Structure 1
Amino acid sequence: MVYLDYAASTPVSEEALHVFQQLSKDCYGNASSLHDAGGRANDILTYSRQSIAAILEDESGDIYFTSSGTESNLLAIQSMANGLPADRQHVITTSVEHPSVHHAVKSLERLGTKVSIIEPNQDGIITEDILKDALLPETGLVSIQHANSETGIIQPLAELAPILKERHILFHTDAVQTFGKIRVSIKELGVDAISISSHKVYAPKGAGAVYMGAHVPWKPLYSGTVQENGFRPGTVNVPCIGAFAAASEQLMLKLDEQKRQNEQLRDYFFQQLKMRQLPVRTFHNGKRRMLPHIIGCFFEGFEGQYVMLACNRHGICISTGSACASGYHHPSPAVKALHVSDRDALQFIRLSFGSKSSKEDIDQLLHTFEQLQKE
């Protein structure tokens, strides 16, 4: 099988699997228990918090563990909104966010919070002017993704953060697609909260995390919760969280090397498209910062879903966008934001690279594209 869908999920690394198995066998106590077994489990959680905080380059805030990136977004946004004063009940997000962010703000809207959805420019970017135009005196929270999971477009968070900081507006970002792929620094980005996920960084599915600045006046979504300092109820998944931290540490050791490999594969894909004269159009240009491991493109004359299924018949895994939005046969908001027609948007496909990706994988994919063209 040729796997080119790392943006959807990654295989579990040997290091993460080893840690998960060892902790499952040797550290099975409930981290909330007061006996020694519970204490050992709590020690693993403490270490994991410190490890992930160090990777995010800010150890002054708090790390709260969740079950996924989706839950991280939901809990971060809703708990931050719960802590907003009565005169700051306005939340801003973008049209190109992960579905979980839209679910979170819709829930807030039903409870009476004013919500604004802003659109990026034709390059898929939220500019300073776009953000400023949406701000109101009562704006209390803004959530803008670090990078889009379908297009790979990186948002200029460090340029937007000062605008919000000077107005005392909280800033959250979904960094599920960037954490472990490029450097994600709380200090450099200037955000107050960040969401990440385990299964995007070669750890088992079932863990996520939220970094929350110590200054953020969040309030629990579920009153009476004791786990994770009230942030999330339920027994904490210590083996998965320990594996999450281990996988993240290993990934950071290879971050620059993997980034170079992804860039080489991306360039090779573009070169081969040109050489083989395939009717596959990408939207990479000098105006956008892009994640090196994600390539979004349009296959002229074929719907993306058809191309994906044809590749699958040949043992190749690609996607037509976010796995969390699969099953909905309509143009992706993230793709539509690039000012393409519905017809073009439905021709969208995404391939994404990872640790095992190779030029041979790309050759097989392009050979399948050529065969598809001849059918």
Structure 2
Amino acid sequence: MKYFDFAATTPLDPEAAEVYVQVATEYYGNSSSLHDIGGQSAALLENCREELAKLAGIDKQGLFFTSGGTEGNFLAVEALLSSPKKEGNHIIAGMAEHSSIHGVLNRLKGAGYEITLLPLNSNGLVDLELLVESIKPGTIMIALQHVNSEIGTIQPIEEIATICRLNGIHLHSDCVQSFGKINVNTIAPLVSSFSFSGHKIYGPKGIGGVYVDPHINWEPFFPGGSHENGFRPGTSNVPAIAAMTVAAQKITANLQEDHHRYRLLRKALIDSLEPIKEKVTIYQADDMSQVATIIGLRISGIEGQWMMLECNRLGFAISTGSACQIGMQSPAKVTQALGLTTTEAKEFIRVSFGRSTCFEDVVELGESIVTIVNKFSASAVIENN
């Protein structure tokens, strides 16, 4: 099986795996324990915190480890709301945010907060004029992902951070798809908080982190916790944190080289779809606002779920823009944000590249998609006759 779903998860890096086992067997003490074994674990934990903070260009005092991006998004939003810059109950978020953001927003709406969701323009970006127009005197927070997980567009977080600063608004950015993929150092110091996840960068599953500006006097959502300065409960997962740190060091060291390679792979896939280009719609921005590793597209007349299964049958693992919720197919949030019809939304598929993706496999995938489309079109003609 040739894997093209790296935006969903990545395989654990072998060096990170070795570090995980070593730390789990040699630094097994609880990092909150006061004896020497616990102290060794605590020292390693803080070394990891310092190293990750350097990689992201942030103050280590604001970096907290979590179980992943979902928990990180939830706790970050709650932390910011516990210490707003001004009075109010209005929150602005992207319509295409991850389900973890929509989950906490739904809870907040029930608690009396007013929520405004912003769509995306045809290039998959938030309209800054619309964002400014949406701000009210009582707007206290904006939540916008850095990179969209379905189509890979990069939101202009720097400009949005300036808007937030001028209006006394907290800004949270979900950086799960950008951390380790593009340079986040330029935006990390500008936001009130951001989240990231280990398993998107060849680290272990079940580990991630949140940065919250140390100047914010947040209150813990879970009272009485002693770990991570009270940010979250539960014993710190030091082996996973150490493994994630190694994975982060490796992936950030190759950002420039990887960027060039992924651009070539992206072009190769798009070029291979040329024979069916009249049926293909790719949702993307210009090169400066687009990560190369994620291609979100739809093929007119073919449901994404069917295309995914056909690709799977041929030995290619891709994903669709639909998730099964309570037994029903629900279109991905990005398709709603782009204004697609229900039929168009169901045609959406995603291809994402990673470290092991090679040029030949990309071309083979594209050619296989073309073959699938041509066979489908031919069978449709026969049925109509």
- TM bucket, shorter chain: over 0.9
* Residue matched to 1:161: 161
Mapping for residues 137-176 of structure 1, pairs under 5 Å: 137-176=137-176
Q: Distance in 2 between matches of 1:48 and 1:5?
A: 28
Contact 1:9 1:199 in 2 (8 A): yes
Matched, 1:259 2:283: no
Contact 1:84 1:217 in 2 (8 A): no
Mapping for residues 1-375 of structure 1, pairs under 5 Å: 1-59=1-59, 61-84=61-84, 87-185=87-185, 187=187, 190-274=190-274, 279-286=279-286, 289-321=289-321, 329-373=329-373, 374-375=375-376
Structure 1 residues 187 and 95: CA distance shift in structure 2, 3 A: closer
CA offsets 1:270-325 (integer angstroms, 9 cap, x no match): 11111576833313354971111000111222100011111111221100137797
What is the CA-CA distance between 1:68 and the residue it aligns to? Answer: 0.9
DSSP-derived class of the 2:194 partner: strand
Q: Distance in 2 between matches of 1:242 and 1:326?
A: 37
Q: Distance in 1 between matches of 2:86 and 2:112?
A: 11
What is the CA-CA distance between 1:259 and the residue it aligns to? Answer: 1.1
The worse-fitting range, judged by mean Cα deviation, of 135-144 and 321-330 is 321-330
- RMSD over equivalenced CA pairs, Å: 2.1
Identity %: 37
Q: Distance in 1 between matches of 2:126 and 2:41?
A: 42
Structure 1 residues 96 and 7: CA distance shift in structure 2, 3 A: same
What is the CA-CA distance between 1:336 and the residue it aligns to? Answer: 2.7
DSSP-derived class of the 1:369 partner: helix
**TM-score after normalising by structure 1:** 0.94
What is the CA-CA distance between 1:367 and the residue it aligns to? Answer: 3.4
Q: Distance in 2 between matches of 1:171 and 1:102?
A: 16
DSSP-derived class of the 1:296 partner: strand
Structure 1 residues 325 and 244: CA distance shift in structure 2, 3 A: farther
Contact 1:8 1:322 in 2 (8 A): no
Q: Distance in 2 between matches of 1:273 and 1:154?
A: 24
The worse-fitting range, judged by mean Cα deviation, of 331-340 and 213-222 is 331-340
Q: Distance in 1 between matches of 2:178 and 2:209?
A: 14
Contact 2:89 2:113 in 1 (8 A): yes
**TM-score after normalising by structure 2:** 0.92
Q: Distance in 2 between matches of 1:299 and 1:179?
A: 30
Contact 2:2 2:315 in 1 (8 A): yes
Q: Distance in 2 between matches of 1:136 and 1:193?
A: 21
Q: Distance in 1 between matches of 2:317 and 2:165?
A: 42
Q: Distance in 1 between matches of 2:128 and 2:42?
A: 43
Contact 2:194 2:212 in 1 (8 A): yes
Q: What one-letter code is carried by the residue in structure 2 that aligns with 1:370?
A: V
Structure 1 residues 80 and 330: CA distance shift in structure 2, 3 A: same
Structure 1 residues 84 and 285: CA distance shift in structure 2, 3 A: closer
DSSP-derived class of the 2:298 partner: strand
What is the CA-CA distance between 1:160 and the residue it aligns to? Answer: 1.2
Q: Distance in 2 between matches of 1:45 and 1:20?
A: 13
Contact 1:68 1:205 in 2 (8 A): yes
What is the CA-CA distance between 1:98 and the residue it aligns to? Answer: 0.2
Gap regions ≥5 residues in structure 2: 377-385
DSSP-derived class of the 2:8 partner: coil
Contact 2:322 2:346 in 1 (8 A): no
Gap regions ≥5 residues in structure 1: none
Contact 1:32 1:42 in 2 (8 A): yes
Q: Distance in 2 between matches of 1:312 and 1:294?
A: 18
